Amino acid sequence: MTAVAQLPRRGSTTARARTEAFLVAAGLATAPNGRPAGQTSQQAADARRAAAERRRAAVRAVPDRRKDPFRLAAPLVAALAVTIVVLGVLGVVALNALAAEASFEARALEQEISDLTLHHDDLVAAVAQLESPNRVRDVALGQLGLMEPEVPGFLEIDPADMPAPQPKPMVRTGS
């Protein structure tokens, strides 16, 4: 059994003496005989061996996990990797959605082009029918009241009677 040393009273000693007495009582310092207060020589030897073992155990090279940059960065790297993967998947899904939308729009435009091409072909056929000489003659005779000539007349012009062409006056530009 260890005896508990009496701490000196406050007013009777100096602060240093009180501190030394407290440390001796706590087993953190030795008494004037070299041993903690109230210890036998065997207990003191056991305490020295235990302290030496604690020092040897404390000397062991164990990495300090609080200061290991790889252990600190691992969760951040994992979170960054997960974020990049999630953003990549969302990007691929968004691109697929845009491609599908563009495909539907392209199909609609192709259908509209097909319909307009058919309508254009119908209009070209209608114009060709309206421009045919037989239809023009029928409209002129029936609706406009024109008459078909019995004998077509021709005008003959003698080139010798034609006046000589006059040259155009030259116009100068301001250069």
- What is the residue-level pLDDT of the chain in tens, covering all 175 positions? 444 455 545 555 677 777 777 776 666 666 555 655 566 777 778 888 888 787 776 656 666 656 666 666 788 889 999 999 999 999 999 999 999 999 999 999 999 999 999 999 999 999 999 999 999 999 999 898 888 878 877 888 888 888 888 888 888 776 5
Residue pair 6/14 in contact (Cβ under 8 Å)? The answer is: no
- What is the pLDDT at residue 103? 97
Residue pair 25/10 in contact (Cβ under 8 Å)? The answer is: no
Q: Please report where in the chains the tokens 């999630």 appear, as a residue.
A: 86
Residue pair 64/73 in contact (Cβ under 8 Å)? The answer is: no
| Calpha distance 27→34 (Å, rounded) | 12
Question: Structure pTM?
Answer: 0.37
Phi, psi of 56 (to 5 degrees): -65, -40
Tokens of 167: 């040259």
Neighbouring residues of 21: CB distance < 8 A, sequence distance ≥ 6: 5, 6, 7, 8, 13
Delimit the domains of the chain by residue range.
Answer: 15-59, 78-136
| Calpha distance 46→52 (Å, rounded) | 10
- What is the pLDDT at residue 117? 97
Gyration radius (Cα) of the chain, Å:
59
C-alpha 64: how far from chain center: 37
